[in-house]
Amino acid sequence: MLEKLKNLEDRYQELTELLADPKIINNRTEYLKLTKEYSWLENIIRLTNQYRKIIEDLAEDERLIKSSNDSDLVEMAREEMIELEEKQSELEENLKFALIPPDPLDGKNVICEIRAGTGGEEASLFVGDLFRMYSLYTESRGWKLEVMTSNPSDLGGLKEITFSIQGEDAYKNMKFESGIHRVQRVPETESSGRIHTSAVSVAILPEAEDVEVDLNPDELRIETFRSSGPGGQHVNKTDSAIRITHIPTGLVVSCQDEKSQHKNKAKALKILKARLLAREQEKQHDQIAKERRLQVGSGDRSEKIRTYNYPQNRLTDHRINLTIYKLDQVMNGDLESIFLELQKADMVDALNEI
């Protein structure tokens, strides 16, 4: 471990010099990238210095015990060694986790897409429930949520909804939500009281910056159409809705929630860039971490990740075998403890790869 720490110390010194270079300072993208790496290494260096100090103190106590004839002094040294060894063990554990490189996407804002799957209208109602859950969680964190596009169902649910979440470490906290969310409950439309199982898919995409996704205008097909609405005076009489097709990949994004064509286009482009960035990240993760249990940031939505059982007030996250009996609190936005458990499990997985 000490050899690896020495290499990181060298890199820390190199970064200290680079971050003082005017060329780096004037390159915003590179400067931010190096600043994040510097911050990560700074914590490691701090822990390393504490670790080395403990090793020196232990060695000094050992020398004292071997050379001193003062029984009281020797006893004090032995007691101190016990405390130091406990601190050494704790620091070694902290250093192991500190050595895990941070996900470069963690600090990004998020674009979340929720779509109804199996279960018909009940699935659409659950899309609305999940949207409410994430909205309340976002509110509790002091983040900002903005609906980008939505498609309501006949009974007040949502066939699909796409929204952005802006806030510190939004992606870090939300990234494990990608996948199939299964709900078990008695639908409002069920007169016999039978429990139905429905499913919805959730995709968490890191919001892309312009420097990360370069869209070639020649590769975009942009179409306008008239927004659908509730009818009457609210029907949009202009072609303000936007549909953008990314020709190389076939990805299609539509946006009609805004009355302004310009705003719909801006939102559609933001969603498209996030999807393209997620595709690129998925390729990288498939190559680097095929065996990772949680598939961090891979956007893998084919696996059932969680079950919401209403009759038993139970939530089960199948990836980490977590079961809790406070579903009512979870649906009211109490997600912090679940996210922490997922982050811990991911860090343990990452440790095995170092």
Question: Rounded to an integer, what distance in angstroms lies between the CA atom of residue 278 and that of residue 297?
Answer: 8
Q: Residue 199 in contact with residue 182, Cβ under 8 Å?
A: yes
- Determine what percent of the chain is predicted with pLDDT higher than 70: 87
Q: Which helix (H) or strand (E) holds 26?
A: none
Q: Are 116 and 127 a contacting pair, CB within 8 Å?
A: yes
Predicted confidence at residue 250, as pLDDT, reads 86
Q: Could you report how far apart the first and last alpha carbons of the chain are, in Å?
A: 11
User: Residue 18's pLDDT is what?
Assistant: 94
Task: Tell me the per-residue pLDDT of 88-127, one tens digit each, with 9 for 90 and over.
Answer: 999 988 888 888 888 888 888 999 999 999 888 999 999 9
Name the band, by pLDDT with cuts 50, 70 and 90, for residue 284. Answer: low
Question: Going by C-beta distance under 8 Å and a sequence separation of 6 or more, which residues neighbour residue 269?
Answer: 215, 244, 253
Phi, psi of 117 (to 5 degrees): -115, -130
Sequence-ordered list of residues with C-beta below 8 angstroms from that of 144, at least 6 positions apart, any chain:
138, 165, 166, 167
Distances (CA, A) of 209 to 218, 272, 275: 20, 12, 12
- Is there a contact between 186 and 259 (Cβ–Cβ < 8 Å)? no
Domains of the chain: 2-98 (no CATH), 110-351 (3.30.70.1660)
Minimal CA–CA distance to 199: which of 290, 119, 278? 119
- Residue 271: band (very low, low, confident or very high) from pLDDT cuts 50, 70, 90: confident
The residue among 284 and 291 whose pLDDT is bigger is 284
Under 8 Å between Cβ of 182 and 307: yes
Alpha helices in the chain (DSSP H): 2-18, 22-25, 28-67, 71-98, 121-141, 170-174, 261-288, 327-330, 336-351
Residues 338/239, Cβ–Cβ less than 8 Å: no
Mean pLDDT of the chain: 85
Residue 274: Cβ within 10 Å count: 28
Give pLDDT tens digits for 125-141: 999 999 999 999 999 99
Give the length of the chain: 354
- The predicted structure's pLDDT at residue 171: 93
Within 10 A of 24 (CB to CB), how many other CB atoms are there?
Answer: 17
State how far the Cα of 225 lies from the Cα of 239, in Å rounded to an integer: 5
Q: Mind giving me the DSSP string for 211-274? A: TT----GGGEEEEEEPPP-SSGGGS--S--EEEEEETTTTEEEEE-SSS-HHHHHHHHHHHHHH
- Of 285 and 108, which is predicted with more confidence? 108
